[in-house]
Structure 1
Amino acid sequence: MKWKGRRQSSNVEDRRGQSSGGSGLGGLNPMLLISLVRFLFTKTGLIIAGVLLVGSMLLGYNPLNFIGQLFTGSPVTSETSAPYQGTQKEEELADFSATILASTEDVWNQLISNYEEPTLVLFTGSVSSACGYASSATGPFYCPGDDKLYLDLSFFDDMERKLNAPGDFAQAYVIAHEVGHHVQNLLGISDKVQRLRGQMSQTEFNKYSVRLELQADFLAGVWAHHSQQMTQMMETGDLQEALNAAYAIGDDRLQQQSSGRVVPDSFTHGTSEQRIRWFKKGFETGDINQGDTFNANPL
């Protein structure tokens, strides 16, 4: 891809090197600590603190973050003495990610009136979001609760070494897919799907999850179509990199690799063939109206 020297998005929150949990009170604001102590010594405070402590321990969360959010609306994080400085390769990946995010902004601002741009959060190890805690093992994800994309840049290395899906356009596809989830959230599609949870069995709900994910693949393809028209960033072989990445993260391929067997009822993202096909459809048409995966039959 010809991405260097292009605009980088300002909607990037760099949390690399920060602790998502906070192992002590050293990172707390002094006034917050005073307020916290006063509150905890009231009858109501003791009851609430007890409930939060037990609940957070059962769920595996850090109780300090619950208490910090009670006062500040933000989880407690430990402070670092100096700005995080990654390797040269990592810093280049950070610049690349900000450039791809800017490209998605340019495309979706053109396609959707009053488009609300998401924020990309870069982290290392683990991270706290409005959707809860996640480790790097979770992979990149979008949280509709705070309109943010979360990415540990080490995932790109995993794509190359573990999934055999190298290439900068493969990485761009990953970011564009998560932005696709943001578009779904803005259009109200994600809410409709989530309201179905609890109204059906997990097996039935998984089918809707697959359709949601395949639509995000389609939207990533729509981005690639318009981005190429606007910037001509793509080079020979780039499209194949994205298709290879879509193939590498198909449910059937991942299950076959991890357990040696495939269980279709447990699919949540779609098969390799489906992911390739819907991304290609988005790329070839560039028409957001062509991506109704929920009424597509066969999928």
Structure 2
Amino acid sequence: MDWYPSADEDLLLRTSARFAAGLAAPVAGCRWFRDPQRGDIQGELPQWPPGPVHTPRGTGDRAARRTGRALAFGIPLIANLVANLGGAAGSPFGGVPATGKPEERENEVDDFPVMWAAPGTLARTAPWQLDPDRRPEGYTTDLVLTSRRLLFLGTRTGSIAKADVLAEYPRDAVSGARRMRFSEVEADVRLTFADDSWIRLFTGNPDSAARLTELLAGAADTIGESDLTPGQRDRVTRFLSDLPAGALPPTFRRLPSGIVLAEARVPSKAGEDLHETHGILMGPSGEAAKPQPGDL
């Protein structure tokens, strides 16, 4: 693995992450970096390389963007529908994608800030590599949440070298996360820091978006690998051996009935920065288990 948690912490979630992009026609494919007065701050961010200057789209551009967006989303939509018809474990994207409706017109239709940060706030320390328009070709970024910190990692496609730690924050520096459903495959999350600055990220999978918000709200009963029984650890080893190459380390959740859900994420061929969630349910000895009412 390209990154390991420290001995004094448990891995809770690792997911792909990048700055989100607009979905509504006037801001489709665009992103802005704002201060609370809606001023553009990308030129003020230290050590950030130059990036494109986006402008809201006119009526003529919108029709073209609608056609392009349908083509771009066609493969993920079809792949997910087929997977769900088959009921296969590890179906791409967790559920049938739906863009939903804008929740904040000022931030999702008229404008699309992915950073909202006054001078000196934590959001301004987010790494520039999260921006697909700035990072090198073949470079990907992940968000990692552990029991004591949140990190952003950078890796190069096909490399087995140690991941770059681009930024890290103690858990108490992050005050919460909100899932933003008006987004590509409903996988956007607004991550808010303790100083009320925030960033909006695309997490690659609606399951990841839901999981991140649960974890930061304290609503998920996550456990570490050390909490598993020997039988469960053996079952996880077999589970991982069946996954495609590139699978991320698993995370574990104890459900209300007591059974354990193990999940691992695998990069998807359906699109860049998308991934599929694979999971198994285990009883106390690692045997296959069925969810009980209230578990899922």
TM range (shorter): under 0.3
Identify which of structures 1 and 2 has the higher relative contact order when contacts are C-alpha pairs closer than 8 Å and 6+ apart.
2
TM-score (norm: length of structure 1): 0.25
Larger Rg: 1
| Structure ranking higher in strand proportion | 2
Query: What TM-score does the superposition give when structure 2 sets the normalisation length?
Result: 0.25
Q: Compare the two structures and name the one with the higher helix fraction.
A: 1
